Amino acid sequence: MQDASQRFEDALVFAAKLHASDIRPGTSIPYLAHLLGTASIALEHGATEDEAIAALLHDAVEDHGREQLMIIRERFGTSVADIVAGCTDPDVAPKPPWRTRKEAYVRHLQDALASVRLVSASDKLHNARAILADYRAIGDELWSRFSGGKVGVLWYYRALVEAYRKAGTSPLVEELERVVSEVERLAIRA
């Protein structure tokens, strides 16, 4: 059995290779920055090794296919795979409209495992911080990056905050709420 640091290192290398050519939408930022940011936030909020590994791998399935979940389960264990699956939009065909998918995800969070909520909230906080920084830099042009547009993104992040709060507040949820409120304040003022 590998020691703890080796498992995390293996997950980091796996994520780096899997997302090597990916960039954050509308930017030139390597996607790995988001995965590292998500893992960092999760660790700062008490993540276990499995949760930190899942934070590194949370977008593997959505971005690189359902088969990644089986690979994650084999390489990093059932707990990691279950967390990743809980952070992933269901893979159904035809793919439902954006709003329908996001409403289902928000409903799912209320009953999700605490580990799923930790990784999910870490992901959403990193995303919300990026939205806030980019909005300050480029203004309303930012919203063209998102399928849901300005109205949809603002609704989604507020709904996420409320879903996390219903499951139990925490410093992570409160930080997400502060960032989302600032995005709302700036966007509504514009």
Please state the domain extents for the chain: 4-189
DSSP string, the chain: ---HHHHHHHHHHHHHHHTTT-B-TTS--BTHHHHHHHHHHHHHTT--HHHHHHHHHTTHHHHH-THHHHHHHHHH-HHHHHHHHHTS----SSPPPHHHHHHHHHHHHHHS-HHHHHHHHHHHHHHHHHHHHHHHHHGGGGGGGSTTHHHHHHHHHHHHHHHHHHH---HHHHHHHHHHHHHHHHHHH-
Question: 4-189: what fold?
Answer: Hypothetical protein af1432 (1.10.3210)
What pLDDT, on the 0 to 100 scale, is given for residue 24? 92
- pTM passes above 0.85: yes
Span of 50-64, 88-102, 109-123 with lowest mean pLDDT? 88-102
What pLDDT, on the 0 to 100 scale, is given for residue 14? 97
**Mean local confidence (pLDDT), 46-67:** 95
Residue 185, pLDDT above cutoff 90: yes
Residue matched to tokens 């590292």: 36
What pLDDT, on the 0 to 100 scale, is given for residue 94? 82
What pLDDT, on the 0 to 100 scale, is given for residue 30? 95
